Amino acid sequence: MPESGAGKSGDHPTLLVRDREGHDLLCFLEHLIPVEGQDYALLSPVDTPVSLFRLSDEAEPEPITEVASSEPILSVADVVLQEHDLVLVRSAITLTVSGELEEPDQEDLEELEEEDDVDEDAETFELLVSFMVEAQEYGLYIPLDPFLVLVRMIDGQAELLNDEELDRIQPLIEAELEEREWPD
């Protein structure tokens, strides 16, 4: 298993993030942002992040935010993804899928953006696969919005933030990024 720390994948620096349970998530370094004398980084996963939803004919898909690694749902998802030459990875922070995925259809994305009834704050997802477990349908969805991970950098190592620090730092990071994009 690779060490946590900076590396190179082509021209993109990568960092390995590890959660408290020992799960890893390999990420590309998108932005390094100093705030209040501390370096923070915005990272994007190398593999494709996915979200698990419970599906129902009567209601909107219901996100499942916590699922144990040994859960039967994930075992079935593993088998279904293998049929598509994909692998489900129980990563830190999120589930990811490794393998060659088809790019989302640009026309579909443009249609979603043009719809008047789309809530600008709502996340949009594309269904990757659906499957049945014990008479219940589930789906793995790919978020169409960028999936970014905010971490604290300590001696070249990426450390996840606790909820309190995330709530305090996130607005400062967003303000810094806006200032970088829109200089006066």
CA dihedral sign, ordered 120, 125, 126, 127: negative
Q: What is the pLDDT of residues 117-170, one digit of tens each?
A: 444 445 688 999 999 999 899 999 999 888 999 999 999 899 999 989 999 999
Q: Tens-digit pLDDT profile for the chain (184 aa)?
A: 334 444 444 577 999 999 888 889 999 999 999 988 999 999 999 999 999 999 988 888 899 988 776 678 999 999 999 999 999 998 888 999 998 887 655 555 555 455 544 444 456 889 999 999 998 999 999 998 889 999 999 998 999 999 899 999 999 998 888 887 765 5
Distant-in-sequence, close-in-space partners of 1: CB < 8 Å, separation ≥ 6: 24
Amino acid at 170: Q
How much helix, strand and coil, in percent to the nearest 5, is found in the chain? 20, 40, 40
Whole-number Å distance between alpha carbons of 178 and 172: 10
DSSP character string of 94-155 = SEEEES-PPPPPHHHHHHHHH-TT--TTS--EEEEEEEEETTEEEEEEEESS---EEEEEET
Bridge partners (DSSP) listed for residue 1: none
Contact in structure between 129 and 80 (CB atoms under 8 Å): yes
What are the chain's domains? 7-45+147-181 (2.30.30), 48-143 (no CATH)
Contact in structure between 27 and 150 (CB atoms under 8 Å): no
Q: How far is CA 113 from CA 8, 101, 120, in A?
A: 35, 22, 9
